[in-house]
Amino acid sequence: MLKKNLFNIASLTIACFLPLAQAGDWFHDDRSSYDKSDRFDDDRWYVAPFGTFIKTGGDRNASDGWGGGMGIGKMLDKHFNVELKGFYEDFGGANGPWSLTGGTADVQYYFDRDKFSPYAVVAAGGMNSCASANCGATVIGEAGVGFTYELHDNFLVRSDVRYRYNNNLNAQVQPGTDEFHDMVVNVGFVVPFGDKPKRMERTERPAPVAAAPAAAASATADADGDGVPDSVDKCPGTMKGSRVDNNGCPVRLVLKGQHFQRDSAELTLNARNILDEVAQSLISDPQKNDVEVQGHASSEGKESYNMRLSQRRAQSVADYLKSKGVNNRLIAKGYGETQPIADNSTEEGRAQNRRVELIWIED
């Protein structure tokens, strides 16, 4: 019966707030529309007062009751909140009035952060249970689902429905059993402290700018041939073959060809000549971005060996650039054969897959 009632009340609670969720699609403010990414970097502390309806299990021989409490929590990231809660609940029973005073540590998992944000929650804690004058220390565990609905950056409505397991640890508060199974419905609000972080822009550079048509090229100087006129090029002298953004600054450089001795991380003379140009470009580049040096391999040989070899080769390139005076932070990482750019069934494709890539990381 309790499980049936739990399902019915949970369904009713969610149904009552569906109009609010739909209304969120029509909500507009001075940003023109609500942006989910606004909350991704929200790590504020908050307080959360709430009222509680408790539906007691049949093992208590008690009526349903009411209570309330307060939570103090922190938003960790896009999905997780942690919270400490205290509560008090009371209700009548066959062996006298009951009172429950306790606290839990909660972990909430948000499926999405929006104006209407559903979540799942698990909690563990303890409480003091009293039936008339008979009291005892008990442990509890809870699991349930709920949601928040944002009315303002610093005010959210919140509700959840939870199953609660209660073990009285041989305290014999209720003669005949020390295990109880209740359902609680919490309704309250959340008040975060401080200003809500504004939208954090995606750290990707703009798409590469196509080279100007041949007819226009004669009228617009482009000394380094990267497709960006010198008049707006913020990174003149970009090495040949680099993919650039619309400021003329490098985004990616793929080094193809025979750069290493066979089955080795030792650089060839040709590779060192190319890396000398890369080093000079990095030294003169006014944007001292971090650079990820990626090593990639074809599918020849064992996968685990290729992974180790690609890591050593990436490190070899990073070490060589450092020895030439490059001050950028260089992050060497091997990807083995996991990111092919060509067909590994042909020698031509395998040659393309044996490569080193330099990726400029946006600040």
48: its two tokens: 């959360």
Which one is the CATH code of 2-192: 3.20.20.140, 3.20.20.10, 2.40.160.20, 3.40.50.2300?
2.40.160.20
For residues 221 and 261, give the distance between their C-alpha atoms in angstroms, rounded to a whole number. 40
Q: What's the rounded mean pLDDT across residues 231-255?
A: 65
Mean pLDDT score, 92-106: 90
Q: What is the pLDDT of residues 104-135, one digit of tens each?
A: 999 999 998 889 999 999 999 999 988 888 88
Question: Percent of the chain, pLDDT > 70?
Answer: 72
CATH topology identical between 2-192 and 214-360: no
CB atoms within 10 A of CB 115: 18
Task: Determine the 3-state secondary structure of 345 from DSSP.
Answer: coil
Pairing status of strand 65-75 against strand 45-55: antiparallel
In the predicted structure, residue 295 carries a pLDDT above the cut 50: yes
Q: Out of 43-52, 63-72, 112-121, 247-256, pick the least confident.
A: 247-256
Task: State how far the Cα of 114 lies from the Cα of 16, in Å rounded to an integer.
Answer: 18
How wide is the angle at C-alpha 314 spanned by C-alphas 310 and 318, nearest 5°?
170
Of 46-50, 111-115, 222-226, 271-275, highest mean pLDDT:
46-50
Q: Which residues pair with 83 in a beta bridge?
A: 73, 106
Question: 214-360: what fold?
Answer: 60s Ribosomal Protein L30; Chain: A; (3.30.1330)
Residue 250 near residue 235, CB atoms below 8 Å:
yes
Cβ–Cβ < 8 Å for 131, 95: yes
The residues spanned by each domain of the chain are: 2-192, 214-360
More confident residue, 297 or 199: 297
What local confidence, expressed as pLDDT, does residue 128 receive? 92
Whether 114 and 148 have beta carbons less than 8 Å apart is answered as no
